[in-house]
A and B are shown apart, each in its own frame.
Chain A
Amino acid sequence: MDAFSAVLQGLPMTLLLTVSAFVIGIVGAVPLAVGLSSPNAVLRLVCRLFVDLVRGVPIIVWLFLLKFGIQIGTFKFNPVGAAIVGLGVVSIAYLAEIYRGGLESVPRGQNEAADALGLARSTTFYRVLVPQAFRIVSPSIATYLTGLLKDSSIASTIIVAEMVFQSQSFARQHPTVEGILPYVLVGILYIVLSLPVAYLSRSLDARMRKAVYA
């Protein structure tokens, strides 16, 4: 088997990890972002500490904690489960911070105008603030997604058979010069994979701009 097909064997797992963690993050970050911008100081502080703690500990530590440290009765995480949950929780924290930044960057006048018009708070939030915030943060979300794609490689350290893991095992079996190939190929593959995300973010940005300001 050549190096490229070896690396490609790990592609479905890399995509599975990235997409699952991203979905967990996108959804899970919503309540956390609301908490981060809550008028209740205690709630805000708790959410803030959670976000900063999750981001303050390297991903590899979270993965090892979940994989090796957690045992409840007979339940233990398998490597893939630990990787998805770990990357998912980290995504929740990062995306919540991005959402909060977006909500705060909507001009105060929008809130005041909505209040003056007598819109309900939920209407103001979902129909006025969120669409504008989403347009502001969509490039950051796309950047985060490419970062997450790269971070999914850390799952190889808890023996998840994604791309970097496959590169490693190919390289081990080929002690000759061609053993460097999988590392080069996998590096290029990550860069290539992040291109459509960058493209999507740009077109999404353009579409949202039109949707908001048409």
Chain B
Amino acid sequence: MTSDRPAGPPPEPRRPDGHPPSGAAATPPDTPIPSDTPAPPAVPETRTPSAGELAPTGLPSVAERVSQLRARAGPSGQPGGRPAASRGTSGDPPTAPTVDLRTTDRPAPTPLTGPPVDGSPAPRKRRAARVAGGTSPRRRAGAGEPAGRSSSWRRLGGCLVLAALAGLVTGPSGDAERPLDGARGSLTGERGLIVLALALLAWLTLTCWPWLRASTLGWSRRVTASARDWRGGARDRSGPRHRRARRRWRRLAAATRRLRGGARRGARLVLPPASRRRRARLAPRRPSLAEAAERPGRAAAESGRAVGEVGGGVGGRVTAARLDEAGIVPPRDEPDRTVPDPPGQERADEPEAVLRAERAPDPVGPWHRTWAVRSKWEERSASAVPAASAPPAVSAVPSAARSAASAAPPAGTRAARAPARPGWWSRGVGHALALAAAVAAPLLVSTAAQQSMVNDIGLYALLALGLNVVVGYAGLLDLGYIAFFAIGAYTTAYLSAPDSMPWHAPFQLNPFLAMPVALLAAAVAGILLGGPTLRLRGDYLAIVTLGFGEIVHLLANNADGITGGARGVFGVPPLSVHVGGFHYTFGLDPLPYYYLLLGLVVLVMAVLGVWERSRTGRAWAAIRQDEVAAEATGVRTVRMKLLAFAIGASVSGFAGVILASKQFFNPQTFGLQASLLVLTIVIFGGMGSRLGVVLGAVVLQGLAFFLRDRVPAADRFIYFGALVMIMMVFRPRGLLAPRPRFAGAHPVPAWAAPTAATGVAPSPRSAPARAVPPAGDVPADQREESQEGRAP
């Protein structure tokens, strides 16, 4: 096909991952750079974006493409996968869309991964050595990063700053009288040397990582390959020993095949759900519009499938073995331009190959052809990713289909697998384990820890569950949430304690009985807050809720005649149960409160779960994703938003009752920082996921408590803040991101959408970094994010 194309970047579709160069375009058009121009070898290493370079519209620029290619060529330990600028103009063309039958002057059984580095034939071993381990780390590192030098300095600066900060954080404290004493103690002398050494070590590791990884990876690949060689006897199979071995293998393979087939048939009879699930998982998933749009088309895919059927597993094994024999490690994300062995030679040697061949030609249902075809072998090939083994069934395949396939798996595989969750029972097991741990935990810790577990973890978990409804389900950013907590607490004090607050009810209720009233009061407050904010969009809603929260806080603090002001409320009678003959009063012991809170948390989680799956929950999801569209399709946004506020507020009021009846409280507890803390817990734990927010409360508050005795008490919030920042950088979805419940949808409101979709465009330096990860490495949530950026 394009075998006579000069060295130039290949067309778009054969990029091994699914990502377009800039994160925004869903459809990278098939626009190769003019094929007559060689790739510019002298691309400046440091680039700053200039006009026209940034291509949120989807057209990659020259420099971008070059850097992508370099990046692809870079870290996987193999040399010129793509004829990139680093090689200059080599005589041999790249090969993208075809199987590269080109070899050098050696006979067929010596496959190479690509054109020789310098265009001239070289002894296999030497070239292999150079190719596999010989390229300098700098070259490889440089190939992976277009701006190698200055970013290396920047990395050094960053490492130094981070190490210095870490030194400051763990060092002695300073004092106003002797300012920076702490800094002087932390960063000078011995500690300073340690800090410096750590910084240099980190920088070295980061800089040399590609080389380290390549060498270890190459080594591990070689080891695995040679192990496989030994097992499969791929080296020289002409001798009588091997013939016998082959015969044995053939028999074994046939027997295994029969056994497996029988087992499968039997399993199908006995356990229908399992096989149905597996079939569902393995069957090509109906891909979303976005994914389909980036497929090159039916024909290529179908032809790919056809060839796959024929070729089966034949070439794959052998080529891998051959490659390893040559010491050449094929890249994961490269199509293997390898020669398939003459048929019949190694057919039945490897049972796996045989079985794969058998599995490959499963028919693809006709209904899937409408969108795009992605055969099972493609899926499995991408999913069986351990780098050492070449994708088992990938072989002599038209590269268009291969690229289609390789374009598909990263975007499709994980997403294809995503809906195939483990069964409901496994989720239940997980929850049961968590519950058991929660029940057993306080018995293993001291009373002070129990006290903290109740106050910090328990109450905040309940609060987080409530805020989850407002922020996670309905997508309304509420910064004044703690006000409802205050309202619940003060209402309880009003109703059940005649002498703890200047203002009190003429009657006295048991706090348990005050609960519904407090719930109602908080819900009414929620509606009062929600009402005026209905027509405010994202950030303004945040401000107004913040203002409301602060108003409640300040009123509580200053209305001495009503709330007792800053002195707080003291002496609310504790919860007590007098039912029939059963009398129990909660005392100062935190353990009963803990179990009460645990029960409440479980109850609230169950109730909210039911609500989430109901029509109301779907309405909330619609509002969250696009309010205008929701309103247009008949969702009563006003009612639903008010309901969300009300429910969130009432959960908070619930927690307020427990707080009031348990201990002294004063308005300090209800400040803006508490609101922000609850919001942080919700986002940290996973906005929209109930267990996630509870887990977030456990982790964050537990960290604060855990550090109480290990670091100076006032310093623990430094670690807290650092942890939150790190979490947001590396896992912005939170600990347990919620499962996407609706097809193609992810519970993120428009204003919380990733910023790639907004006006802030990333620089091209970042684009390749995001665009090139080899299949299987980018975690699913990252992929979902970028999917979401493309989702309508």
A and B together in one complex: no
Q: Which residues of B contact A (CB under 8 A)?
A: none
Q: Which residues of A contact B (CB under 8 A)?
A: none
